[in-house]
Amino acid sequence: MVFDEAHDIEDVAAQYFGVSFSNYRLQELRRDIAAMGRSKKFGTPELDRILDRLDEMTIQFFRLFGDAERRVAFQGREGFLDENEEIYADLLAALDLIGSHLKVIQNPPDEILPLVRRTLELAQALRFVMEEDDERYVYWVEKRGRGCFLQATPSMSPPSSPSGSSTRWTR
């Protein structure tokens, strides 16, 4: 088998089989909810406050990863969470609050359901990247421009069995 553009295989595999969470995805969600709220007339001052809180927590959380552009293994996630538990919990709470708020909108337009789904998916992705300890994944952080990307990418090597020998690993 011949792969054209084989140098992109890792990134393509990460897109299809990995888990990704970024400040860009949160900003896009916030923008889409605000725009939809205005155009479909379900926006409220309360929703605006919730979205502003998401902005604040997004900035605080991703500031924890510094400003230097880099792509590094995200080792020590447990220690990172211990040190930054409050900011992490507040970001998850902001996502949960947005999802809850969208679910209780009276006579919601059809466009609400995809926004609720995206909100839940982002919360699940954040939890996976930050809390999961699945040895089939490699966890890493990439800072590029204004973007910060947290990734869990399937490992290309098989995990070891408890006896130390390699096990057959398929995906």
* Residue 169 pLDDT: 38
Other CB atoms within 10 A of residue 64 CB: 12
Alpha carbons 131 and 121: distance in angstroms, whole number = 15
* Residue 168 pLDDT: 40
Nearest to 72 by CA among 23, 144, 15: 144
Nearest to 129 by CA among 102, 160, 92, 161: 92
Q: 0.85 exceeded by the pTM?
A: no
**Residues 6 and 12: beta-carbon distance below 8 Å:** no
Q: Which two tokens stand for residue 170?
A: 């398929």
Q: Write down how long the chain is.
A: 171
Nearest to 58 by CA among 147, 153, 168: 147
Alpha carbons 157 and 136: distance in angstroms, whole number = 8
Each of the 171 residues of the chain gets a pLDDT tens digit; together they read 666 666 555 555 555 679 999 999 999 999 999 999 999 999 999 999 999 999 999 999 999 999 999 999 999 999 999 999 999 999 999 999 999 999 999 999 999 999 999 999 999 999 999 999 999 999 999 999 999 999 999 987 655 544 444 444 344
